[in-house]
Structure 1
Amino acid sequence: MKTERRYDIDWLRVLAIGLLLIYHIAIVFQPWAMFVGFIKSNESLETLWKPMTLLNVWRIPLLFYVSGMGLYFAMQKRNYAQLLTERTLRILIPLILGALAIAPLHFIIFQKFYNLPLGYYPHMGHLWFLGNIFVYVLVLTPLFFYLMKNKEGKFRKALSTLMKNPFGPLVLSVFFIAETLLVKPQIFSVYAETWHGFFLGLLAFFFGFLFVYSGQQFWQTVSKWKWLYLGLAVVLYIIRLQLFETNSPAYLMAIESNCWIFGIFGLGYQYLNKPSAALSYLSQAAYPVYIIHMFALYAGSLLILPTQLPPMAKFVALTAFTFVTCYGIYEFMIKRIGFLRPLFGLKPKVNKLEKKLLQEAV
């Protein structure tokens, strides 16, 4: 079955991972960096954190939404067994590799930076996200296939009707509010290996699937009302900034998070849903870059932080080093070495003859 490629969703995944790198680099220059396992610069740049607090309520939930949407598109041309096989290869294998080789490597750099005894500790680290996604796939896929077989049923029709209303998507925030009231996270933006992160991710993944499943109504609504959502998000952010020192009650942050995300979906649908050579490259690179970026960041911290550069120059240099190293490793190793590709979630390399035969078969 041929499916329409949604370039805007690809772009949002790329941009979210790019923002993730910048967010993690900014943590290095915060006085509490070591408390969350990051190498810490001796010179802080706390002014960097204000814009990061704008990002931290929606950057990870956005990726969960997009992952749920991606599963919908994957199901268009795969049966149950094929889907689980494909998701196992794409998610579980990179997760295992990362837990055994990638995350322990950047922890060894951390030990070296602080002159600690070197030790090898397998752990998921920043790849906790992949573990969550794999669990969601296992848990929700049977329900999703049931829904796919009943596209003409009452549920989809009711969902499509709800999505026509500008407040339809926001109504679903009640589930995210309920999550915060039940789980009671101390800090809303701490998602890694927490029950809050798990259940918030589950909801975002589930509704990401449903938004695409509902049809064009959701996309037309968020495109038409994007400035309403973004305006609400800005108001809630200002309240959070002025009254709560960036950490407002979790139920308000849940609403703010979804307002940002729906506004971003609307902007993406209107402006980014078109192919480009840059997107073709970056969408392939994004996943491997996500997997290796903490290694590049810690290696750059080891080299750059001890220098005499001014703090902002160190931030700029570390940002450049992290991006260049990540894309260099992707371009000259992961992308080109056949056996590495599946270990980082890429499809096996197809030679020119095989590519020609595939094109002729199509």
Structure 2
Amino acid sequence: MTTDRRYDIDWLRVIAIGLLLIYHIAIVFQPWALFIGFIKSDNSVESLWTPMTMLNVWRIPLLFYVSGMGVYFAMKKRSWKKLITERTKRILLPFLFGFVAITPLQMFIFQKFYNMPLSYYPGSSHLWFLGNIFIYVLLLSPLFFYLKKYKNGKFRKAISKIMSYAMGPVSISVFFMLEVVFVKPQLFELYAQTWHGFFMGFLAFIFGFLLMYSGNSFWQTVLKWKWLYIGIAAVLYTIRFTEYEGISNMYLTSLESNCWIFGIFGFGFQYLNKPSALLSYLSQAAYPVYIIHMFVLYAGAFIFLPLSLPPIIKFLGITLFTFLACFYLYEFILRRVNIIRPFFGLKWKQKVKQEFEDKSTIKKDLLNIKSTNTNM
């Protein structure tokens, strides 16, 4: 397995989480927001939903793909025991903490906004994604480590060969179509805490790993054919929002979803696979921001929605507030207070330990110098 870091995958994770924030803010301005537990604006901006509907068929699947790819890289220097231990600390701990401490905050704001009796409501909310990922790691680790053991076997060579053809990546969509056949979701984009979301994520997670496992052929293919995939996705998206929408169905949406993702992978591989100081910062910030963004968003809605402003200005105000507040919370609290870092998916800083070791080394050096001078 290659040991090279893939900066484009890091960038795509950051971008996907940034888009997720905007997507959730847009829900506040839809007439059905209250039905899925969001604070709702009295004045809707339904035009926001046209681009959001393009976004919502691939934003979550993309994150599952990227998470599977992340496990591929995590396995390079870890045994299965170390992988489970690391994922328990990085995924399960923030999920459980968020369940009991973060989501109740957004429910508290929701209750205040609607003048409801204040009650403690723990729950998974948007953190359902983390719960799914941890289950996938537990279920699939035996398979992944088996494949790692036989990384030069016939199976890997077969996948690599398939992925070298333009329609190779697209063929993955058949499995997502079968998921639609068996699960029969109400809506394709209804992922949170549904069997559709679980099995769709399971497939994307597996294929995220397998695409990295297959080698470079997949990346060369999506690089070469990225415009084809984007073109297919754009046509299918257009069909969903024209007079031809009657011929659209969730099987075609499965194909559209994957074509968007493969096109994005191609553009990311071409333009984003390079290190930068900004990426280094944002890749660390993305996960904690994902964990806290919902209660921050609700706080922004609590502040801006009662104001006498045009709804689009309220949308922009909540968006700016959410991004800035998440930044300040991350920069000045989450990343600096060592004791809370693990609860937000950040590694425990070794700074204190290192400073102690440095001081001990300096003290020893001074004693050695003093001893040397005494003996002279």
Q: TM-score, normalised by structure 1?
A: 0.96
- Partner residue in 1 for 2:7: 7
Match of 2:325 in 1: 325
For the residues of structure 2 that align with 1:183 and 1:60, how far apart are their CA atoms? Answer: 18
Label 1:356 to 1:177 Cα distance change in 2 as closer, same or farther (>3 A): farther
Aligned to 1:290: 290
The yes-or-no answer on 1:182 pairing with 2:190 is no
Partner of 1:334: 334
The separation in 2 between residues aligned to 1:40 and 1:116, in whole angstroms, is 15
Label 1:353 to 1:198 Cα distance change in 2 as closer, same or farther (>3 A): closer
Asked whether the 8 Å contact 1:8–1:272 carries over to 2, the reply is yes
1:162 and 2:157 aligned: no
> Which residue of the partner structure matches residue 372 of structure 2?
none
Amino acid at match of 1:124: S
Do residues 57 (structure 1) and 49 (structure 2) align?
no
Counterpart Cα distance in 2 of 1:247 and 1:160? 34
Q: In the aligned structure 2, how far is the partner of 1:191 from the partner of 1:137?
A: 19
| Alpha-carbon distance in structure 1 between the residues aligned to 2:35 and 2:15 | 27
Q: Which residue of 1 aligns with 2:233?
A: 233
Whether 1:129 aligns to 2:91 is: no
CA distance in 2, matches of 1:58, 1:193: 17
C-alpha deviation, 1:101, in angstroms: 0.6
State the alpha-carbon separation in 2 of the partners of residues 357 and 244 from structure 1: 69
Aligned residue identity for 1:138: L
Specify the SS of the correspondent of 2:241: helix
Cα deviation, residue 354, structure 1 = 2.8
Q: Corresponding residue for 2:270?
A: 270
Q: Deviations over 1:206-258 (max 9, x none)?
A: 00000000000000000010000000000000011114669931111000000
1:16 corresponds in structure 2 to 16
Cα distance 1:185–1:13, how it changes in 2: closer, same or farther (>3 A)? same
- Which moved further from structure 2: 158-167 or 243-252? 243-252
Deviation string, structure 1 residues 325-361 (Cα, Å, up to 9, x no partner)? 1111000000000011111010111218739989xxx
Q: Are the counterparts in 2 of residues 2 and 77 from structure 1 also a CA contact under 8 Å?
A: no
| Inter-partner Cα distance in structure 2 for 1:235 and 1:317 | 33
> Structure 2-normalised TM-score?
0.93
Mapping for residues 1-362 of structure 1, pairs under 5 Å: 3-243=3-243, 248-351=248-351, 354=354
Q: Which letter maps to 2:229?
A: Y
For 2:280 and 2:352, how far apart are their aligned partners in 1? Answer: 18
Say if 1:187 and 1:247, in contact at 8 Å, map to a contact too.
Answer: no
Question: Is the 1:91–1:345 Cα contact (8 Å) retained in structure 2?
Answer: yes
Q: What secondary structure, in the 3-state scheme, does the structure 1 residue paired with 2:260 have?
A: helix
Do the aligned residues in 2 keep the contact of 1:304 with 1:318 (CA within 8 Å)?
yes
- What amino acid does structure 2 have at the position aligned with 1:309? L
1:314 maps to a residue whose letter is: K
CA positional deviation for 1:310: 1.0
> Please, which moves more after superposition, 11-20 or 305-314?
305-314
- The structure with the largest alpha-carbon Rg is 2
* CA distance in 2: counterparts of 1:167 and 1:3, whole angstroms: 28
Fraction of identical pairs, as percent? 66
Whole-angstrom distance in 1 between the partners of 2:60 and 2:344: 20
